[in-house]
Amino acid sequence: MARVGVITFPGSLDDTDARRAVRIAGGEPVALWHASTSLEGVDAVVLPGGFSYGDYLRAGAIARFAPLMAELIPAAQAGLPVLGICNGFQVLAEAHLLPGALMPNAGGHFVCRDQRLRVENARTAWTSDYAEGQEIVIPLKNMDGRYTASAETIAELEAEGRIIARYMDVNPNGSLNDIAGVTNEAGNVVGLMPHPEHAVESLTGPTTDGLGFFTSIVKGLINV
C-alpha cells in the first residue's frame, strides 16, 4: 500500500482532511511532525493548508526552515512526489521547490468559495487521474493566493506545460494567467492553491472532484 506522509506544522488546519483523503483514495496516511528529522520512509508527501507558524513574517516563510524540510527538500529534488496545498504551496515556493511566489489577494480580502478549475496538465504524479482540459469544482480559501512570477518564468511555465490548473469563470485572487497550480520540471512536485482534500466525499464537499489528486499518486505508486 502506498504510504503518503502529511506534514503538520504549528498552525496547520487541513492535515487531518489530507490524511482522510489519502485513506479514501486507497493509500496509507502517515502523520509527520514538522520538528522531526525523518520522513519515515514514506512514498510521497503532502504539505497541507492552514497558517503554518501563524503566517508570521510571510506565508510559508518560517515553515520552509522547519527541521523536516531539511529532509524533504533534497528528497523532492531526487524525485519524491510532493503536493503542497494552499499554505503548502506557499511553503514549496519559499523553499524554491516551485517557481514564483504567492502574494496577498488582489482584492485585499480572504476568499472562500467553490472554485471552478480546468486541469491543464494531467502528466504529473498528482494529476494523472484527470484528463487534460477536464473541468472540476473544488473549494478555495486563502488570503495570500495571488500567484506571481517574472515574465520570463511565466513564459517558461506556459511553454513547458507546467501550469497544472487554471481558474475559470472568475480569477479569485488576481493570479497571473489565472494560474491555480504549477509543477516543477520533473512533474513530481505540485503546488495547488485550491483545496482538493475538501472535495473527496459527497457528504461534505461540493463535489468529489478533488479525489483525483490523491488517487493519482496512490495508483501511480502502486504501479511503480
140-171: burial string, b at 16+ Cβ within 10 Å, e else: bbbbbbbbebeeeebeebeeeebbbbbbeeeb
Q: Residue 222: how many CB atoms within 10 A of its CB?
A: 12
**Whether 86 is catalytic:** yes
- Asked if 195 is an active-site residue, the reply is yes
The number of CA neighbours under 13 Å toward the Cβ of 49 is: 20
Taking residue 126's Cβ as centre, other Cβ atoms within 10 Å add up to 30
Is 96 among the catalytic positions? no
Tell me which of 71, 94, 120, 195 is the catalytic residue. 195
CA atoms within a 13 Å half-sphere pointing along the CA-CB vector of 218: 16
Query: Which listed residue (71, 94, 120, 197) is catalytic?
Result: 197
* Active-site pick, 86, 94, 120, 198: 86
Give the count of alpha carbons within 13 A of 38, CB side only. Answer: 3
Other C-beta atoms within 10 Å of 24: how many? 17
Residues 123, 129: Cα–Cα separation, whole Å? 9
Q: Are strands 101-103 and 28-33 parallel, antiparallel or unpaired?
A: unpaired
Grid coordinates of 35: 520538528
Active site residues: 86, 195, 197
